[in-house]
Structure 1
Amino acid sequence: MSSDTRKPSLLWAVFTFIVPVAIILYGTVVVAVRPPVLPLLVAVVVAGAMCLRIGYSWEELQEGMLSAVGRIQIAVAILMLVGMIIAAWMASGTIPTIIYWGLKLIAPNHFLVSTIILCAVASLATGTSFGTMGTIGVALLGVGTAMGYDPAWTVGAIVSGAYFGDKMSPVSDSTNIAAAVCEVPLFTHIASMLWTTLPALVVSIIGYAILGSMHTGTAESVGNINTILTTLEGSFSLSPVALIPPVLMIVLAYKRLPVLPVMVVCVVSALAIALFEGVSVVNLAKFLTTGYKAATPSPELNKLLSCGGLMSIMATTLLLTCGMAFGGILEKARVLEVLLDAILRGATSAVSLVGATVAAAYIILFGTGSQMLAVVVPGRAFGESFRRAGIEQVVLSRTCEDAGTLGCPLVPWSVHAFYILGVLGVSATDYMPYAFLNYLVPVFSMACAITGIGIMRTTPKNA
């Protein structure tokens, strides 16, 4: 029988999904393997063996894995460029300048609120959560560390802000794709998302304000900040010229230039500034490859500023490859298709349809780790069901983003979680409790479905 028509039973699909996911969770959460390459490899082997058991050939499963791995080519290219951007922005003084003014201007108790707002604005302008976290996010993490904040708190606020913009920006890939897949005008789609995203943003800001009020700056942290400011002043020029690369990034991204050329411009502009400041070509080449090596009088600051480079993303690339191979097996063996069919069965009301869309997005995220699939697959699969129930497609497009876009960084083996781990150095299991916006938006999505608020209706198709 051809694999195009062969499907596993629902029981076997559930079993094939749960067992490998349990292995990954055990390895990442309980055993705390870092980086969690081994749990992912074991999950790939177990999932493959279970799919071989129901009649799929090794060649078919290999085809599924290779196809899935092929989807992360752009993500890997972005990762490589972000690694170089971090190193170049360190050498040019861009990130030290942002850290300096962040320490000077942001009150410690308001730091987390400032972080989510700054990241939301930057991501809204650029449409990229990756770019925001890999540039401004790195600088803000340095500010938070100097203020004595737990990195998990800081990264949670960075993630919340970055994904607000990624979801709401008219220049975001996920926003445009969700609108296109569900055949909804772009700005109608964005307006609909305000129903769930704005309340979640307000609650998140309140949450970060409460966390900030719990952070009491000690004399040691105040002294640490003063030392860092003095050291930065003596080690870098801190000229406004150093802010040219991030300004270029925002302007070019807002003009909807492709992300890779924009990142190349960010690297080149920073390198030009570094050369002008007297950094040698040889050192720049080393920084871009193995990461920036700070040489200030402060060992603590050197540890904070020494980062980036192409080699810094190698572990993340390996994790991405393993995660996508796992998802490719589940896709090829139609495990996810069977699970989605079961979820959608009998869903006719707003509550059941929105709930089914949220559940489907999370199943795809847990199965494949891909944000784009979690947005596209439910958008395609559930459109007719929403029409029959008399619910406008804009509710479907909104819900796909509520769960698919914002849920991705909460799945520890997703593409986005591995990216965050590689760039900011904090795992999903650590920052997840503090990424308020990412898990509050689906809550408001369900609240809208239950109350009927923000649920746009049309004439049922079968009426």
Structure 2
Amino acid sequence: MSGSNNRNTQDAGAGPRPGLLWAVLCFTLPVGVILYGTVFVGVRPPVLPLLAAVALAGLMCLPVGYTWKELQEGMLESLGRVQLAVAILVMVGMTISAWLASGTIPAIIYWGLKLIAPQYFFASAFVLCAVASVATGTSFGTMGTIGVALLGVGGVMGFSPAMTVGAIVSGAYFGDKMSPVSDSTNITATICETPLFTHISSMMWTTVPAALVAMAGFMLLGATQTAASGSLESLSGILAGLENGFNLSPVVFIPPVLMVILAYRRYPVLPVMGVCLLSALLIALAGGATLDVLAKQLTTGYKAATESAQLNKLLSRGGLMSVMPTILLLTSGMAFGGILERARVLEVLLDAMLRGSRSPVRLVASTLGSAYIILLGTGSQMLAAIIPGRAFLHAYDENDLHRSVLSRTCEDAGTLGCPLVPWSVHAFYIMGVLGVSAYEFAPYALLNWGVPVFSILCAMTGIGMRRRDGSPVRRAPAQVENA
């Protein structure tokens, strides 16, 4: 009876709510279609499975009481949220070509091969991306610049691209989560009504131990892969090709230095990317490139022409057209999430998870689970932090838990879990820029898996858990009642 009543109830004009069973089906069956098409059938890129999921979700939400026009409005509203991501993708596609033409990426690869020992490569990639993303506050910018160069270094050393991207993603999202200039960090703190540095301090309890474990894992992974990298006989040829084919002078490091400085000063991401693009183009022009050639490279990608076939394959990438498949995937995935959000399917699932969440362990587990449901349903990192952050705010207050515990838990799942969902905004970006799907790199994104584990451990042990008055949960609560 309650399910039927929910379907016929209009909540402040938001539209009817599906019953819990129907909401579960509306969520799991389309997700199953996506997984079947991508994992078992192997459709790449998975545009058709995503479009099939959109159609199925739409058909299943019609009986709830929505018209197709209403569901279409939900799709369009969801697509509006990724306009900035699309613009960043376009800028990154052009920036990769410009950084190749200027010699910036070849120089990073050159010095990476010179300075990084193979057995420490994965750990070094993790640390470099973590430092860059903490300084800039952007995982997208880090992966689209430093990440591309490190992928090249790993390729020359003979490492699996999936392993390399796993280390890059782990480092990039460490900074996306912990940087005081990161959008996701600031938004989550605001949504959960927590001071920024209180939020960051709270996240250290789960993120720092997970980072240490991830570092140990990457060291071990590098040691097991040393033989493969050591067998590469063409390393000297690659270095010679870089020396003869590109400008490796210190001036080519101006674009990444500008990126770090401007991002740290909290300039908007698109102007920062524009400055990095323009500075690289000026360096390329000063080095003898022509405008007509650069215009073609910005559109269709840079085409390397060195004496090394391996190097040419490695450095021929970028351009506007290279990101178009990713944009198609991005819009398809967001349309799917827009239907589920408009039909209140995700709202019903979250309400079910809130019931009975009273102990710290159950609250933290429910928050993590809710964020993952939002990620699976919408593919949006921001929604995965915002929706649980607002939904669980009063539950944490009622159970005498500090709101910084809520804010960090939202990021433990929402920020770090997003790239692990194959149809999420971030996974599509990674595939478009680095060429490796979430199905391939996810097993090696050690930090992204480890942080939620430490989030649960903190809740179970009381370590890093605080009451509303700021006192540790592990301390006897005798004086808290009078606070």
Shorter-chain TM band: over 0.9
Letter in 2 for 1:66: L
- Structure 1 distance, partners of 2:179, 2:54, is 35
- Give the secondary structure class of the aligned counterpart of 2:258: helix
Pairwise mapping of residues 252-271 of structure 1 onto structure 2 (< 5 A)? Answer: 252-271=262-281
Shift of 1:457: 0.9
For 1:327, the aligned partner's letter is G
CA contact (8 A) 1:228 1:301 kept: yes
Residue 4 of structure 1 deviates from its aligned partner by 1.5
Match of 1:154 among 148, 161, 164: 164
Residue 307 (structure 1) aligns with: 317
Which aligned pairs between 1:50-449 and structure 2 lie closer than 5 A? Answer: 50-218=60-228, 221-449=231-459
Give the 3 Å change call, closer, same or farther, for CA 148–8 of structure 1 in structure 2. Answer: same
1:45 alignment counterpart: 55
Distance 1:217 1:264 in 2: 41
d(CA) in 2 for partners of 1:241 and 1:257? 23
Query: Match of 2:305, as an amino acid?
Result: A
* Alpha-carbon spacing, 1:219–1:8, altered in 2? closer, same or farther (3 Å): closer
Question: Aligned match of 1:6 in 2, 11, 16?
Answer: 16
- Determine the C-alpha separation between the residues in 2 that align with 1:181 and 1:126: 22
- TM-score norm. by structure 2 comes to 0.94
The 8 Å contact of residues 387 and 461 in structure 1, kept in 2 or not, is answered as no
Conservation of the 8 A alpha-carbon contact between 2:165 and 2:434: yes
Letter in 1 for 2:259: M
Query: How far apart, in 2, do the equivalents of 1:216 and 1:384 lie?
Result: 51
One-letter amino acid of the structure 2 residue matched with residue 195 of structure 1: W
Distance in 2 (CA, whole Å) between partners of 1:219 and 1:148 is 5
Correspondence for 1:28: 38
TM-score (norm 1): 0.98
Whether the 8 Å CA contact 2:118–2:229 is kept in 1: the answer is no
Amino acid at match of 2:180: P
CA distance in 2, matches of 1:39, 1:447: 37
In structure 2, the CA distance between the partners of 1:302 and 1:148, relative to structure 1 (3 Å rule), is same
- Equivalent residue of 1:6, what SS? coil
- Note if contact 1:85-1:263 (Cα within 8 Å) is conserved in structure 2: yes
User: How far apart, in 1, do the equivalents of 2:110 and 2:137 lie?
Assistant: 26
Summarize deviations over 1:40-91 as a string: whole Å, max 9, x none. Answer: 0000000000001222101100000000011100000000000011000000
User: Matched residues in 2 for 1:310 and 1:283: separation?
Assistant: 14
Aligned equivalents of 1:367, 1:119: Cα separation in 2: 28
* Residue 219 of structure 1, CA deviation: 8.3
* Partner SS state of residue 423, structure 2: coil
Query: What letter corresponds to residue 216 of structure 1 in structure 2?
Result: T
Distance in structure 2 (CA, Å) of the matches to 1:458 and 1:418: 39
Q: CA deviation at 1:458?
A: 2.6
CA-atom RMSD in angstroms:
1.4
Q: Secondary structure at the match of 1:125?
A: helix
* Residue 5 of structure 1, CA deviation: 4.3
Determine if contact 1:389/1:461 at 8 Å carries over to the other structure.
Answer: no
State the one-letter code of the partner of 1:206. A
Contact 2:33–2:52 (Cα < 8 Å) also in 1: yes
**Letter of the aligned partner of 1:377 in structure 2?**
I
Cα deviation for residue 299 of structure 1 reads 1.2
Counterpart residue type for residue 368 of structure 2: V
Aligned-partner Cα distance in 2 for 1:367–1:397: 21
Q: Kindly indicate whether the alpha-carbon contact (under 8 Å) linking 1:184 and 1:397 is maintained by their aligned counterparts in 2.
A: yes
Q: Hey, what does 2:4 align to over in structure 1?
A: none
8 A Cα contact 1:361 1:400, kept in partner: yes
Shift of 1:462: 12
Distance 2:42 2:228 in 1: 31
Task: Give secondary structure in 2 for the equivalent of 1:223.
Answer: coil
Q: What CA distance in whole angstroms lies between the structure 2 residues aligned with 1:97 and 1:29?
A: 37
State the identity %: 67
Query: Equivalents in 1 of 2:465, 2:351: separation in Å?
Result: 23
Report Cα offsets for 1:89-144 as digits up to 9, x if no partner. 00000000000000000000100000000000000000000000000000000000
CA displacement at 1:218 relative to structure 2 = 5.0
Aligned partners of 1:462 and 1:305: how far apart in 2?
65
Note the residue ranges of structure 1 that are not aligned, 5 or more in a row.
Answer: none
CA distance, structure 2, for counterparts of residue 435 and residue 215 of structure 1: 17
CA distance in 1, matches of 2:269, 2:187: 15
* CA spacing shift, 1:453–1:238, aligned 2, 3 Å: same
1:168-204 CA deviation, whole Å, 9 max, x = no partner? 0000000000100011110010000000000000000
Task: Output the amino acid matched with 1:416.
Answer: H
**SS of structure 2 residue aligned to 1:437:** helix
Pick which of 226-235 and 155-164 moved more. 226-235
Distance 2:261 2:231 in 1: 36
Aligned AA for 1:345? Answer: R
Provide the C-alpha distance between the structure 1 equivalents of 2:258 and 2:288, rounded to a whole number of angstroms. Answer: 22
Question: Which whole-Å CA distance do the structure 2 matches of 1:233 and 1:188 have between them?
Answer: 48
- Does the aligned pair in 2 maintain the 1:399–1:445 contact within 8 Å? yes
